[in-house]
Chain A
Amino acid sequence: MGERKIRVLVAKPGLDGHDRGAKVVARALRDAGMEVVYTGLHQTPEQVVEAAIQEDVDIIGLSILSGAHMTIFPRICELLKENSAGDIMVIGGGIIPEEDIRELISNGNASAIFTPGTATSEIVDWIREAMREKVSHKEGVS
């Protein structure tokens, strides 16, 4: 009946205060017809997860430029699982080294990481594709 809108939480965990990238991505997702819950700076993993649950988002997008990604991504995924919200996907962006990206993805602590220079359309396409897979998977099960 109704239209199923993609909801994304864009959060900026940790201590660095550079939110330009997060805002650019939020704006791009908005222009792609998604609902973006923007929570602003200095979020703790607990705050991010609680907001994601209350807002019933499909995806959490984290912007991290501080170097704390190897701590924050696993912590958020752990908290999601504790709250039986492990189905919410976590993606990220920021200055994150190749080898860390490989590790985060292979450990299941991130579904995708977009580094500086990524076109916003690439992020939009990735999210749409991921959501299509998630929905068709769900329909296949039920």
Chain B
Amino acid sequence: MADQRIVDGVLSGDRRMMARAISMIENEDKDKHRILSALFPHTGKAYVIGITGAPGAGKSSLVDRLLSILRSRGLTVGVIAVDPTSPFTGGAILGDRIRMQEHALDKDVFIRSMGTRGSLGGLSRATKDAIQVLDASGKDVVVVETVGVGQSEVDIIKYADTTLVVLTPAGGDSVQTIKAGIMEIADVFVVNKADLPGADRTVAEINIMLDLGGATRPWRPPIVRTVTIDGSGTDEMYAAILRHSEYLKESGNLERLRKERTRRDVVDLIEYRIKSTVWEQVHGSPEFDDVVARIVSRETDPYSAALQILRQVNLDRCKE
């Protein structure tokens, strides 16, 4: 069976089959769940590092540097780099690989670019499952690079064990503007382009923000300065990631994090099944159009109509 060939291929690290599996996930292939379920027993080993930050902050270049460090320690790495999909045409330019050329021929590095395809949280819907594929293929570390984010695209924390937030010294204003969502999710702050003027001020701003948060947090995110052109500070960045991963393990938080994640995944899957079952039966049916018309003309209200429709849906189908 074609599924089995892909599963076996992924488990043995066959790059073509890994790529194929990720495409099937992205395209919502009907065999997607069967493949993921066969891969699942082989997952849970990879450590997931997330990198997020504004467009042009240097995320891809930092991933490139991180790849060199991880490889020099003998670790195998999978990378998922997400770039935005056009809301108008559905097309995308995926350009994160440009910065990672040095690792293009390393057989122990697998880089996959993805378009967001309508997701608004900084990742694509398929990212989570693509991480599973790379994990099952035996990669020690999976690095996930988000799209360039603004304030509230924080989906990365749902999947990353350690999240890096990359900032640049563009003055205190940039810190101010992204304060609300992004500033809360960092396990490690990276001030990149630290050779530019204003880096000290950016570091100070982050420290002030952290101090305001009170001393009750068991993990205070360290702040590292990096310059990707010459690689300075990137070893410190890696050391900070390691410290965080040790903290997670020792405090028992890694266990807790993964349990929460699993719980959410299962709920998501149940929701997805129910949603698609209902949608298949309701969408496009003449009765549904009729109900919509009656709601618009105020003959009935949407709340009663929803209940009425739901009573007619056969939910047994989502249990198959």
Chain A residues in contact with chain B, CB under 8 A? 1-5, 7, 26-27, 29-40, 43, 46-47, 50-51, 53-56, 83-85
Asked if B91 and A33 sit within 8 Å, CB to CB, the answer is: yes
Asked if A2 and B93 sit within 8 Å, CB to CB, the answer is: no
Cross-interface CB contact of A30 among B93, B97, B101, B104, cutoff 8 Å: B93
Is B95 located at the chain interface by the 8 A CB criterion?
Answer: yes
Asked if B92 and A30 sit within 8 Å, CB to CB, the answer is: yes
Asked if A31 and B98 sit within 8 Å, CB to CB, the answer is: no
Asked if A56 and B89 sit within 8 Å, CB to CB, the answer is: no
Asked if A39 and B98 sit within 8 Å, CB to CB, the answer is: yes
Check A33/B89 contact, CB under 8 A, given A38-B95, A54-B112, A56-B20.
yes
Among residues 11 to 34 in chain B, which have CB atoms less than 8 Å away from a CB atom of chain A?
15-16, 18-20, 22-23, 26-30
Least CB distance, B289 to chain A, in whole angstroms:
23
A59 to B26, CA, bound (A): 17
16 contacts between A and B (CB under 8 A): A5-B115, A30-B92, A32-B91, A33-B86, A33-B90, A37-B94, A37-B95, A37-B113, A38-B94, A38-B97, A40-B101, A47-B101, A47-B105, A50-B104, A50-B105, A54-B111
Q: Which residues of A contact B15 (CB under 8 A)?
A: 50, 53-54
Q: Which residues of A contact B86 (CB under 8 A)?
A: 30-31, 33
A85, closest chain B residue (CB): B16
Check A26/B104 contact, CB under 8 A, given A1-B29, A83-B16.
no
Q: Which residues of A contact B110 (CB under 8 A)?
A: 54
A53 to B92, CA, bound (A): 18
Q: How does the 8 Å CB contact mask read for B24-63 relative to A, with 1 for contact and 0 for none?
A: 0011111000000000000000000000000000000000
A32 to B93, CA, bound (A): 11
Asked if B98 and A55 sit within 8 Å, CB to CB, the answer is: no
Asked if B19 and A31 sit within 8 Å, CB to CB, the answer is: no
A27 to B89, CA, bound (A): 11
Asked if A1 and B28 sit within 8 Å, CB to CB, the answer is: yes
Check A38/B98 contact, CB under 8 A, given A51-B104, A53-B19, A54-B19.
yes
Least CB distance, A1 to chain B, in whole angstroms:
5
Determine the main DSSP class of B at the interface with A.
mixed
Q: Which residues of A contact B95 (CB under 8 A)?
A: 37-38, 40
Q: Which residues of A contact B94 (CB under 8 A)?
A: 35-38, 55
A2 to B26, CA, bound (A): 8
Q: How does the 8 Å CB contact mask read for B81-109 relative to A, with 1 for contact and 0 for none?
A: 00001100111111101100100110000
Cross-interface CB contact of A55 among B29, B85, B105, B113, cutoff 8 Å: B113
A125 to B90, CA, bound (A): 17
B109, closest chain A residue (CB): A54
Cross-interface CB contact of B104 among A38, A47, A56, cutoff 8 Å: A47
The 9 closest A-B pairs by CB, nearest first: A2-B28, A56-B19, A30-B91, A40-B98, A33-B90, A2-B27, A47-B104, A56-B23, A33-B91
Asked if B90 and A31 sit within 8 Å, CB to CB, the answer is: no
Q: Which residues of B contact A33 (CB under 8 A)?
A: 86, 89-91
A37 to B92, CA, bound (A): 8
Q: Which residues of A contact B18 (CB under 8 A)?
A: 54
Question: Which among B19, B29, B104 has the highest number of chain A CB atoms within 10 Å?
Answer: B104
Asked if B16 and A2 sit within 8 Å, CB to CB, the answer is: no
Q: Which residues of A contact B117 (CB under 8 A)?
A: 5
Asked if B93 and A84 sit within 8 Å, CB to CB, the answer is: no
Known: A32-B89, A37-B113, A56-B16. 17 other contacts (CB 8 A): A1-B29, A2-B27, A2-B28, A3-B90, A29-B91, A30-B89, A31-B89, A32-B91, A37-B95, A38-B98, A39-B98, A40-B98, A50-B15, A53-B16, A54-B15, A54-B110, A55-B97
A31 to B15, CA, bound (A): 29
Q: Which residues of B contact A37 (CB under 8 A)?
A: 94-95, 97, 113
Least CB distance, B113 to chain A, in whole angstroms:
5
A30 to B18, CA, bound (A): 25
